[in-house]
Structure 1
Amino acid sequence: MLLTVKMMKPFYTLQEGHELKLVFAYQYFSVVKGEEVYQFIPVESNEIRINLKTRQIENLTDIFVFQRGTRIFRIPLFQLLQISDLVDHLKAVSQFYVEQIQADEEEEAMNEEIGNLEMQNLYRLIDKALLEGDRDLFMQLTDQLKTEEAAQ
């Protein structure tokens, strides 16, 4: 049984830290099974949770239910991922959030590196003040160092 995703539009998305929840409702998710279109019905699971750091789906055992008229089929999310093109659709929906997490992590790493360089420079200035015997500058710089260390 091969399925293709006809339409997949999350009813809403919610990002909590590194987790992205894609929540689905009636008429927002449908698959083609054979020649027939089945609509998602939220009777069991209604969301897909993606870890944006690892890009892994976290609720693989959740059951999704699809209906066409009186016919219903239930399928675990891991199986739906294996026999359909759902992964491609999920990548398209989550790409913005993945890029945002990566950009945030890069900015955080850059800010940390800048902080380290500023501290190294402060230590060098303290050493220079000691070598030159500049007590006032030394006191000023050590006070600044205490303030910087307390802020970290």
Structure 2
Amino acid sequence: MGGVQMISVKMLKPYYIKADDQYVRIILAYQYFAVVINKKVYQFIPIEAKEIRINRKTRKVENVGARFAFQKGKDIVYMTMSELISLPDFLFQLHSIAKPYYDSMQMDSKQIKDVNAVIIDELEHQNIKRLIDKALDERDEEVFRKLVQLL
């Protein structure tokens, strides 16, 4: 994906959800998931990864290497889970879908704060990675070294 692209989530609805002791699996299907890339809507197509797997205890996405396919006409775009979780709207929607499955009991305010902390941590981590990329692009060794220490 060359250049700066505006990517956002148009819709993210689970086709169905499977939860076991360890994981919440959000199963995706055509017409339940769409992204907007440079103002064009791409529909999810289940030719590669079809699920998002979240660890119920850590509340983190586990299958970060998964590749998802999106189609608009004859054009197919692939996005990895790590690219998707770098989109704040994707993360927020994902956690709100999975939230009821994180704990069998109703979550108290401490648990809600914990979930929010996980989301903020993930967003900060993604931001540091972007800043590292920028420092590399600009060949700024000092900034690069400072940022790497934050990871």
Q: Is the 8 A contact 1:30 1:40 kept in 2?
A: yes
| Unaligned 5+ runs, structure 2 | 108-151
Q: Is the 8 A contact 1:63 1:77 kept in 2?
A: yes
Q: Displacement of 1:102 after TM fit?
A: 7.5
- Aligned residue pairs total 103
Q: What is the distance in 1 between the residues matched to 2:11 and 2:95? A: 14
More helix by share: 1
Structure 1 residue aligned with 2:30: 26
Letter in 2 for 1:80: L
RMSD across aligned C-alpha pairs, in angstroms? 1.5
Q: Displacement of 1:84 after TM fit?
A: 5.2
TM (normalized to structure 2)? Answer: 0.64
Question: Does 2:48 match 1:50?
Answer: no
TM (normalized to structure 1)? Answer: 0.64
- Which of 16, 26, 29 lines up with 2:20 in the alignment? 16
Q: What is the distance in 1 between the residues matched to 2:37 and 2:88? A: 10
Structure 1 residue aligned with 2:71: 67
Give matches, 1:1-152, under 5 Å: 1-83=5-87, 85-100=89-104
Q: Is the 8 A contact 2:6 2:39 kept in 1?
A: no
| Unaligned 5+ runs, structure 1 | 104-152
Percent identical residues: 39
SS of the residue corresponding to residue 96 of structure 2 reads helix
Q: Displacement of 1:34 after TM fit?
A: 1.2
Letter in 2 for 1:13: I
